[in-house]
Structure 1
Amino acid sequence: MGKQLSKAAKEPGRKLIAQNKKARHDYHILTTYECGMVLTGTEVKSLRQGRASLADGFVQMDGGEAWLHNVHIPEYSQGTWTNHAARRKRKLLLHRVEIDKLTSKSQETGHTIVPLSLYFKDGRAKVEIALAKGKKEYDKRQTLREKQDRRESDRAIAAARRRQRH
């Protein structure tokens, strides 16, 4: 079966830049949204080099707008004095209905909005964000156990198929 890739990695016309694998481990993903970002030129050039980290990123709703915080896009190596700050907050481009829905849902207890992946879609930088609910420690252990069980069963099936061929 192999690794599970997000929709961004599977579809043609998309080039994956960064993924937040820890988010899927730490949260139950409720709904996902694809949104654009307001970026500067050096940020886009740095992303085209495939450099970014979503590890500590989160989305905050402020004044009817969505803002992406703590996403690390390193400075562009050939940039001059016009280079960007690596961890600045970036505005997300969403429809008003989506912003209103996310604002109301994120105010519920235990809900947060996290970035899942950063990619180019037809030449434009996009980020996939998710409304998520934090997992308890036992949920994380259960998820790991299910993943290990699935891996072991896949290995056993593959071994049985190899034996049948020979």
Structure 2
Amino acid sequence: MMHTFAFRRLLWALLLLPLVACDPNRIYETNIDLPDYAWSVQNKPVFEFEIQDTTQLYDVYFNVRNASAYGYYNLYMRHTLSGPDGLPVSQLLHHMILMDPKTGEPRGKGTGDIFDHQFLALPKQRFDQAGTYKIVLEQYMRQDVLPGIMAVGVRVATVDGKNADAQ
């Protein structure tokens, strides 16, 4: 089991390396593998990133990796974004479609039975304070444990060619 876990983690890193190496707009991207490839309601991954430029607009994406054995076509996820002062900046419920509801065909990119998705969760986000921001992700489905959700992550990128004055 550990050998398979290490291999999949290495494969994930190798697949993402070309994407993140060529992206000058990316300021942060981290993915967290979930224990036993299942997302429990008690497991609330935390992502921390630095914002230096408060005049820039940012796109915040959520990454989801699922196995084809995941039992639903969608995923409800809630985020809580806190600023450097620890106060909440935003809290939203997101509805993400992982598979076509009618055909069951997986969406996202993948090979075999593993699929990666990237959802634009917070477009053109403005961060008013420089410092460390924190995003907490929670699965918000009716089932306490979601087998087949293998990893979740957060990506923050500058909005290409647009700053706060261009909005």
Q: TM-score, normalised by structure 2?
A: 0.28
Answer 1 or 2: which has greater strand percent. Answer: 2
Q: TM-score, normalised by structure 1?
A: 0.29
Answer 1 or 2: which has greater helix percent. Answer: 1
